[in-house]
Amino acid sequence: MIAERMAREYLTRLSLNTGLNFTVMRANVVEDSIYKYDFKLRAFEKDRGVGIESQPLKPGVKRVGIQFTIGKTNNRKLRQIREAKMVLPEHKPVDDIILVKITTNEFGDAFTKWLEANKPSGGPEQFLSRDLKIRLLKKVTKGLVDISDEDIERIFPV
């Protein structure tokens, strides 16, 4: 649960401070219990003036529910997500639910460092490595938001 909250808060700060094309929203109790996702990403599709199909181009919104885990992926969690997708109502809260798995002890280590530093503002996610922050951003936004190498270098300077 700590890793889930760290990931959500890190992504929230990132979306607010970098101008990337997404927002992060907390899942409510219904979304967590029925649809099995921990938080949502909402991306705004941009009208770029180029169409492949003969549909009118309209700006829209894509919403994805994120089930986040740092543990081993088990069949139970995958089955829960598959079942939740089947019960998404007509006025669904999200367009899709995805499982984002990042196996690492770094979330726990970052939380410990944050506690040892007397809980400075900025939360424990400030103690995550650059590589983990980039990996998390890429996994969560894959297929939802285009993030270029230039964006990565701008956001995470070496």
At residue 63, φ and ψ (nearest 5 deg) are -120, 130
Cα-based distances in Å from 132 to 68, 71, 98, 138: 14, 15, 19, 10
pLDDT digits (tens, 9 = 90+) for 38-83: 999 998 765 444 444 434 434 566 888 898 888 776 788 888 888 8
Kindly list the domain boundaries of the chain, sorted by start residue: 2-45+58-146
pLDDT per residue rounded down to tens, the chain (158 residues): 889 999 999 999 999 999 888 999 999 998 888 888 899 999 876 544 444 443 443 456 688 889 888 877 678 888 888 888 887 776 678 888 888 888 889 999 999 999 999 999 999 999 999 999 999 999 999 888 888 999 999 999 88
pLDDT of the residue at 90: 66
Helix (H) or strand (E) segment spanning residue 40: strand 39-45
pLDDT of the residue at 41: 92
pLDDT of the residue at 56: 40
Can you give the pTM of this predicted structure? 0.80
* Residue 4 one-letter amino acid: E
pLDDT of the residue at 109: 95
Q: Contact 25/37 with Cβ under 8 angstroms?
A: no
How many CA atoms are closer than 13 Å to the CA of 31, on its beta-carbon side?
A: 20
Neighbours of 41 (CB within 10 A): 23
Q: Contact 103/72 with Cβ under 8 angstroms?
A: yes
How many CA atoms are closer than 13 Å to the CA of 15, on its beta-carbon side?
A: 22
Report the b/e string of 98-115 with b at 16+ CB within 10 A: bbbebebebbeebbeebe
